[in-house]
Amino acid sequence: MNTIAIEDSLGLTVCNKQQIAIERGLGSYVWDQEGRRYLDFTSGWGVTALGHSHPLIVNAIATQAAKLMQNPNSGFTYSPVRSRLLAKLQDVLPDGLHRVFFANSGAEANDGAVKLARKVTGRPIVIAVSGSFHGRTLSTLSLSGGRDNAARYLPIVPSNVFAPFGDIEALAALMSDQVAAVIIEPVQGEGGVQMPPAGYLQDLSRLCAEHGALFIADEVQTGFCRTGSFFAVGAAGVSPDILTMGKGIAGGFPFAAFAVSDAVAEGVQKGDHGGTYCGNPLGCAVAETVLDFLQNNKIADRAHAMGAMILQRLESLPAQYPEQVRVLRGSGLLIGIQMHSDAQVAALTSACLHRGLIVTPTRNGVLRLIPSLLVSEQEIDEAIGLLCSALTQLQAEYGQLSVAKSA
Catalytic site positions: 133, 218, 247
Phi and psi, residue 360, nearest 5°: -110, 110
Q: Calculate the CA 225 to chain-centre distance.
A: 12
Sheet holding 325-331, edge to edge: 325-331, 334-339, 366-369, 360-362
Q: What number of other Cβ atoms are within 10 A of residue 84's Cβ?
A: 15
Break the chain down into helix, strand, coil percent, rounded to 5. Answer: 40, 20, 35
3-state secondary structure of 3: strand
In terms of phi and psi (left: phi > 0; alpha: psi -120 to 50; beta: otherwise), the region of 273 is beta
> CA-CA distance, 201 to 235, in Å (whole number)?
11
Strands 125-129 and 160-163: parallel
Strands of 104-247, DSSP E: 125-129, 160-163, 179-184, 214-218, 242-245
> CA-CA distance, 132 to 148, in Å (whole number)?
12
Q: Which amino acid is at 4?
A: I
Q: Calculate the CA 131 to chain-centre distance.
A: 13
The continuous run of DSSP H or E covering 183 comes out as strand 179-184
Q: Which residues contact 385 (CB under 8 A, 6 or more apart)?
A: none
> CA-CA distance, 227 to 224, in Å (whole number)?
8
Answer for the pair 264, 242: CB distance below 8 angstroms, yes or no: yes
> CA-CA distance, 397 to 407, in Å (whole number)?
15
Q: What number of other Cβ atoms are within 10 A of residue 303's Cβ?
A: 28
Answer for the pair 110, 218: CB distance below 8 angstroms, yes or no: yes
Picking from 288, 390, 282, 383, the residue whose alpha carbon sits closest to that of residue 339 is 390
Q: Calculate the CA 41 to chain-centre distance.
A: 14
Q: Which residues contact 313 (CB under 8 A, 6 or more apart)?
A: 380, 381, 384
> CA-CA distance, 42 to 21, in Å (whole number)?
15
